[in-house]
Amino acid sequence: MNNKFCTYETAWCPGCGNFAIIDCLKTALTELGKKPSEVLVAAGIGQAAKTPQYINANAFCGLHGRSLPAAAAAKIANEDLTVIVNTGDGDSYGEGGNHFLHNIRRNIDITHFVHDNQIYGLTKGQASPTSMLGIVTGVQVDGNFNEPLNPVLLAIAAGAGFVARTFSGRKEHLTKIMKAAINYKGYALVDILQPCVSFNKINTFGWYNKRVYELPSDYDSSNKTTAITTAMEFGDKIPIGILYNKEKPVYHRKNRVLSDGIPLLDKPTSQSVVQELLQNYI
């Protein structure tokens, strides 16, 4: 079923949450009827950011923390592309924190899957912006004493129209959320909890599995106040599902040049316009 998007040998550790995430991504894309050539998977740097290496689709493997601006601009250039960013908590919320905030404001129709294992994997186990208080690492030798960021709460507060949380251990749920996020018209954030088998010995598969619970079917995801309260729940119980979902005007319809729906790269500048603009200087 995932053949179109192919299977590759990876450099991930056995048991890594990334396997489930990439598997579900391929399933989601296939079920949505996407062709590899119309999908762009962008990433920064990190273990999660290796995702585009292992999927048959257009791939933009850019700089650490900088995948959002590149992906957003690729979407501006060609809105026919389905643009997905797969990258980690360090890349998205640390190095790329400023871009995270401002792409919420832009509301470009891209999907942001954050593989959130609450640790730096590629650099071998330092605290990430979502690491819990007290976690001891090679750098945080006396335990992490900086408050963890709550990315879903932050995204809702900053005005994101689609914010979800899911868990790599619940593949059906993960696929369902991925499809909803890709279908959402606008910037969609999905914070995907995942274990790091090598460097995070606290937030393990079992730790997450014991705590996550699916939002009830009567949960009102269009209510921002409810969403904020629910997003704040992260402890003995961790809600997973679409925390907030509200239609908002997207960048391409707000921008006058793009509002007609013709991809920007298909709008060559006419010579008569150039001539007319030059005449203004005479």
Partner 1 sequence: MYNLLIGGAAGQGVDTTAAILEKSFKASGYNVFSVKDFMSRVRGGHNFSLIRFGTTEIVSHSTIIDGIIALDDDTVRLHKDRLKASGFILCDIKLQTTDKRAIKINMTQMAKEIGNPRVAGSILVGAILKLFDESLAHIEKVLKTSVKINYLPMNNAAVKAGYNAVKKHFSHINGNYAGHMLISGTEAVAMGAVAAGLKFYSAYPMSPSTGIMEALAAKSNKAEIVVEQAEDEIAAVNMAIGASYAGACSMTGTSGGGFSLMVEALGLSGIAEIPLVVIDVQRPGPATGLPTRTEQSDLLFVKSASQGEFPRMVIALRNAQDAFYQTMRAFDIAERYQMPVILLSDQYLGDALSTVELFDPQRIKPAKPLFSYTGKNEYLRYAYTKSGISPRLIPGKSDQVVIIDSDEHDEQGHITESAEVRTQMVNKRMKKLTGLYHELIEPDFIGNNDFSILLLGWGSIWGPLKEAVDLLNQNTSKKYAALIFGDIYPLPTKLLKEKANQADSIINVEQNATGQLAKLIREETSITIDNSILKYDGRQLSGEEIARQIMGRDVL
CA 118, CA 123: separation in Å to the nearest integer? Answer: 13
253: contact with partner 1 by CB under 8 A: no
Minimum distance of partner 1 from residue 73's CB (angstroms): 4
Comparison of 97 and 169: residue with beta carbon closer to partner 1: 97
Q: Which of the ranges 111-119, 165-173, 198-206, 271-279 carries the binding residues for partner 1, by CB under 8 A?
A: 271-279
CA count, 13 A, side-chain hemisphere, 130: 30
Q: How far are the Cα atoms of 132, 249, 265, 269 from residue 254, in angstroms, in the given order?
A: 39, 7, 18, 21
Closer CB to partner 1, 36 or 169, in the complex:
36
- Write down the residue that tokens 């997905």 correspond to: 84
Residue 125 gets the label, from left (phi > 0), alpha (psi -120 to 50) or beta, of left
Min CB(113)–partner 1 separation in Å: 17
Whether 59 contacts 39, CB under 8 Å? no
Three-class DSSP category at 193: strand
d(CA 4, CA 21): 17
Among 24, 28, 42, 163, binds partner 1 (CB under 8 A): 42
Interacting span for partner 1 (CB under 8 A) from 96-104, 161-169, 201-209, 233-241: 96-104
Which of 13, 101, 122, 157 touches partner 1 (CB under 8 A)? 101
Q: How far is the CB of 110 from partner 1 (least distance, A)?
A: 11
Is residue 264 a contact point for partner 1 (CB under 8 A)? yes
- The contact mask relative to partner 1 for 46-85 (x = CB under 8 A, - = no) is ----x-xx--xxxxxxxx--x--xxxxxxxxxx-xx----
The one-letter amino acid code at 112 reads H
Measured CA to CA, the distance from residue 124 to residue 208 in angstroms comes to 21
Chain residues binding partner 1 by CB under 8 A are: 35-38, 40, 42, 45, 50, 52-53, 56-63, 66, 69-78, 80-81, 98-99, 101-102, 255-258, 264-265, 267-269, 271, 273-278, 281-282
